[in-house]
Amino acid sequence: MIVYWLCFILFLVGLYGLITRRNLVKIAISLSIMEFSTFLFFALVGYIEGGVAPIVNPADPVKIYVDPLPQALVLTAIVIGLATTAMMMAVIIRLYRKYGTFDIREIKNLRG
């Protein structure tokens, strides 16, 4: 059970960073931490105590396999996460060129 709570704490660490940090890159890193805590949780969902990788061999007496589906899903989600992070970094670089700073307090054209 403790691993699930650790996952949740990791999520909260990311959320704390997202709320308190002022630097654009650190915000992106906080988002990545949250993202990976979610992935870790998803991968743990498929874990079964004492299970092995699901390569089915009729001759093998092992009967307990871990659930392979969450692993496939997490792989897909990691690829999506990569695209999101790359997109965000591209925007951050452009923002730095326009404003000359990473400080989010300086970037406030849009109000109201």
Partner 1 sequence: MNPLIPLFVVIPLAGAFLIMILGRFIKDLNKYLTSLILLILVVLSIYSLLITGKNLSLYKVGGWEAVNKIPIGIYMVMDGFTVIVLCIINVVGFLSAFYSISYIKRFTAENYFYALFCLMVAGMNGVVLSGDLFNIFVFLEISVISSYALVAFGVEKNELEASFKYQVLGGLASFLILFGIAFIYWKTKTLNIADIRQVFASGYDKKFYLFVQILMLSGFGLKAAIIPFHAWLPDAHSSAPSPISAMLSGVLIKAVGIYVIIRLFFNMFAISEGMAILITTLGTLSMAIGVFLAIGQWDIKRLLAYHSISQMGYVVLSVGIGMIIISRGGRPEIAALAIAGGIFHLINHAAFKGLLFLNAGAIEYTIGTRDLKEMGGLAKMMPATSATSFIASMSISGIPPFNGFFSKLIIIIAAVMGRFYLLALLAVIVSIITLASFLKFQRYAFYNKTDEGNKRNIREVPFPMIFSMVIMSILCVVLSLLVIPGIREAILTPAIDILMDPVKYSTSIIGI
**Closer of 45 and 61 to partner 1 (Cβ):** 45
Integer Rg of the chain from CA: 20
**Closer of 62 and 86 to partner 1 (Cβ):** 86
- Enumerate residues 6+ apart whose C-beta is below 8 A from 6: none
Q: Which of 10, 79, 80, 83 is nearest to 44 (CA)?
A: 10
Token readout for 66 is: 């871990």
Residues interacting with partner 1, by CB under 8 A? 11, 18, 24, 27, 31, 34-35, 38, 41-42, 45, 67, 69-70, 73, 76-77, 80, 83-84, 87-88, 91-92, 94-95, 98-99, 107-110, 112
**Closer of 2 and 83 to partner 1 (Cβ):** 83
